[in-house]
């Protein structure tokens, strides 16, 4: 991953991308008032951004609603196969881990400099409900075991966030420990009653994704999580 300069972000670009995401989250159609409320921005500001996106073909207007434009397809078709390749490459391995552990396994990758993206979930014999335990398709990189494993194995991301003073010193120390031990633990840190252990996944020696294995605290204790590691590696 290339270096990201957090101090050189362009606000209008970020807002435009958020608008597209919010429209997508509303089944591809949203009104101006809904988008202004979601971004906590004046309607006039949001209208200007929508007008620019519409002129470029990334959205269109249908009555009082704004919908995603077909031009987005010309972009997405070039990256969809990348997601499929990652899922296909790790599918058998993660499926085996889900069966071995009996827990729910998640495949995730970095998404920008602050979040990670869930690509797939594999349910074991004591499967969790994915709708219940994944609050959104993306989560913060610094809040969970999966995110910390991704950061610990992404030196460019660590440097980018460090230069922007977005990483507490205790987290940097934790990342070094994760690199040494090869895993990260989440003991109800992100959700009450839920434990998780995460490990890095490599392809031809290059860090590619993270595997998170989650279960209830009563069933998937720290002892059980650590006992699982020798069976994985």
Q: Which residues have CB under 8 Å from 38's CB, separation 6+?
A: 18, 22, 30
pLDDT at 149: 96
Residues of the chain with pLDDT under 70: 1-7, 126-137
Residues 87, 193: contact at Cβ < 8 Å? no
Give the model's pLDDT for residue 54.
94
Compute the distance between CA of residue 50 and CA of residue 136 in angstroms, rounded to an integer. Answer: 24
Cα(209)–Cα(105) distance, integer angstroms: 13
Domains and CATH numbers, the chain: 6-76 (1.10.10.10), 80-232 (3.30.450.40)
pLDDT given at position 232? 87
Query: What's residue 51's pLDDT?
Result: 95
pLDDT for 145 equals 94
**pTM of the entire predicted model:** 0.80
The pLDDT, as a whole number, for residue 224 is 93
Phi then psi for 30, rounded to 5 degrees?
A: -155, 150
Q: What is the pLDDT of residues 4-58, one digit of tens each?
A: 666 677 899 999 999 999 999 898 899 999 999 999 999 999 999 999 999 999 9
DSSP symbol at 78: T
Beta strand residue intervals within the chain, DSSP E: 29-31, 59-62, 65-68, 104-111, 115-122, 138-140, 184-187, 194-203, 206-216
At residue 127, the pLDDT reads 53
How much is the pLDDT for 187? 92
Question: What count of other Cβ atoms lies within 10 Å of the Cβ of residue 67?
Answer: 17
Q: How many CB atoms lie within 10 A of CB 231?
A: 10
């Amino acid at each position: 991953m290339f270096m990201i300069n957090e101090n050189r972000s362009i606000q209008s670009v970020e807002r435009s991308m958020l608008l597209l995401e919010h429209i997508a989250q509303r089944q591809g159609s949203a009104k101006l008032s809904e988008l202004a409320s979601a971004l906590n921005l004046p309607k006039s500001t949001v209208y200007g951004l929508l007008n620019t996106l519409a002129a470029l073909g990334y959205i269109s207007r249908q009555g009082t609603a704004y919908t995603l434009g077909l031009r987005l397809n010309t972009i997405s078709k070039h990256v969809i196969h990348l997601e499929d390749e990652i899922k296909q490459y790790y599918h058998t391995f993660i499926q085996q881990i889900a069966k071995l552990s009996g827990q729910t396994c998640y495949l995730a990758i970095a998404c920008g400099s602050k979040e990670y993206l869930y690509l797939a979930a594999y349910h074991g014999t004591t499967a969790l409900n994915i709708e219940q335990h994944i609050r959104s398709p993306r989560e913060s990189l610094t809040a969970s075991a999966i995110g910390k494993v991704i950061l610990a194995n992404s030196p460019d991301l660590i440097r980018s966030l460090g230069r922007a003073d977005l990483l507490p010193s205790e987290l940097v120390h934790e990342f070094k420990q994760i690199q040494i031990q090869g895993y990260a633990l989440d003991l109800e840190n992100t959700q009450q009653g839920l434990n998780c252990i995460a490990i890095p996944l490599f392809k031809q020696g290059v860090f590619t994704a993270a595997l998170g294995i989650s279960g209830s605290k009563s069933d998937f204790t720290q002892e059980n999580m650590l006992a699982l590691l020798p069976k994985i590696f």
